[in-house]
Amino acid sequence: MSLFASRADIDVEAFAALCEQSVKARDYPTAQEVVSRVVIYQADALRRAAQQNRTALMSELHGLFLDGPGVMVVRHAYPDADVVDRHSEVFRQIIAEEAASVVRADHFAKAGANQRIWNSLQKAAEHSPDSFIEYYANPFIGLIAEAWLGPHFQATAQVNVVTPGGQAQQPHRDYHLGFQTDEVVARFPLPMHRLSQHLTLQGAVAHTDMPLETGPTLLLPFSQQYDLGYLAWRDPAFIDYFAGHAVQLPLNKGDLLFFNPALFHAAGTNRTADQFRMANLLQISSAFGKPMETVNREKMVLALYPSLLKRVQEGELDEEGMHSVIAMSAEGYSFPTNLDTDPPLHGMAPQTGQQLLEQALRERWEVARFGEAVEQMRYKRLA
């Protein structure tokens, strides 16, 4: 077969053969159970496994996203519901402040049908640093992201509130190639189709309980394995297959859902009259890829640093929590940069924003000194 494919090459029967595989529970020894071919983990078991052998656990999770069903849930990832509720209130305040803006467009649903916050990561950091820190100190987001993407990943987030009566999205694949037309996708060789799914990880934090009638995400396990899926998801035969075979799982407030971005999925219809389904959608990018959103990480770390420093000094944030917040906020990769002004003096790569933030916290820099260092790093990277 040619390494360049087109819509003429897609085959719904070949797709169905992949999607009808069964899940082998023995491949996921850390999991609690498999429900509708979605692998379910309990937070406590995941935490113990990470402490005992983090590398083995990450290998298990990577295999799940690649060769397994492609989707997992972590139950009770936020055991303290108040942490989620406080961050939900931050989101509600941001939504209210932005209400006078233009109608928010959506990728796979009618514009204005739901409530959206684009770049909720940066907006929340600037709006409420303390809430951001306690929320993103959660270690599971970084553990799962690193299992799929490796270190130095780049987090972005977008809030979606599906209002009562909000209609389902069309089934789709996500960023990168999922956001391109069929004509553009066909110009990329198939190895790049396979690569696309390795450049991001899709996730969500449930900010409300999500019984089935509220329309939690429809998922098609194993569909990420179909090489021509970026050319197929708009095809009526594939849409019909999705409608007949997709699964839904109810989620509880504080649960995490993660899946391979090449998995066919769609937000469901909220059939309730009074329940607003809120999720913080996480789109986490490889250090080697381009994130979808522009995030001003200098502004983020400057907003967070006073509260971070106070919590570290007073012992309110442990080592794991500190690293989790650093990973979700600061720039983790050395490149691109200006090698004339930002040379790799002590190795092959210049200092990263994450390394700078960690150094400042460990050495207890004053806020003004950290601000100067951030500005110097920004200036050195300019061309």
Residue pLDDT, tens place only, 273-326:
999 999 999 999 999 999 999 999 999 999 999 999 999 999 999 999 999 999
Q: 345 and 243 share a domain?
A: no
In a domain, 119, yes or no: yes
Listed residue (178, 162, 302, 291) closest to 231, CA to CA = 178
- Number of domain units in the chain: 2
Instruction: Give pTM, 2 decimals.
Output: 0.94
Q: Is pLDDT above 60 for 106?
A: no
Q: Which residues contact 287 (CB under 8 A, 6 or more apart)?
A: 149, 150, 151, 152, 153, 154, 332, 333
Q: 347 and 228 share a domain?
A: no
More confident: 108 or 374: 374
More confident: 330 or 345: 330
Least confident range of 1-5, 112-116, 152-156, 308-312: 112-116
Q: What is the predicted pLDDT for the residue at 346? A: 75
Q: Which amino acid is at 190?
A: L
> How is residue 137 written in tokens?
């100190």
Q: What is the predicted pLDDT for the residue at 347? A: 80
Residue-range definition of the domain harbouring residue 272: 7-285
In a domain, 37, yes or no: yes
- For the four alpha carbons of 122, 126, 127 and 131, in that order, the dihedral sign comes to positive
Q: 268 and 314 share a domain?
A: no
Q: What average pLDDT does the chain have?
A: 95
Q: Is pLDDT above 60 for 110?
A: no
% residues pLDDT > 90 (the chain): 92
Q: Is pLDDT above 70 for 107?
A: no
pLDDT, mean of residues 326-352: 92
Local structure of 166: helix, strand or coil: coil
Q: 192 and 116 share a domain?
A: yes
Residue 85 phi, psi dihedral angles, 5° rounding: -65, -40
Q: 206 and 253 share a domain?
A: yes
Report CA 365 to chain centroid distance, whole Å: 31
Residue bearing tokens 């060789």: 189
Q: 115 and 53 share a domain?
A: yes
Residues found in the chain: 383
Q: 305 and 274 share a domain?
A: no
Q: Which of 237, 255, 285 is the last residue of a domain?
A: 285
Q: 208 and 86 share a domain?
A: yes
pLDDT, mean of residues 186-190: 97
Q: What is the predicted pLDDT for the residue at 34? A: 98
Q: What is the predicted pLDDT for the residue at 102? A: 55
Q: What does the longest C-alpha to C-alpha distance in the chain come to?
A: 62
pLDDT, mean of residues 171-195: 96
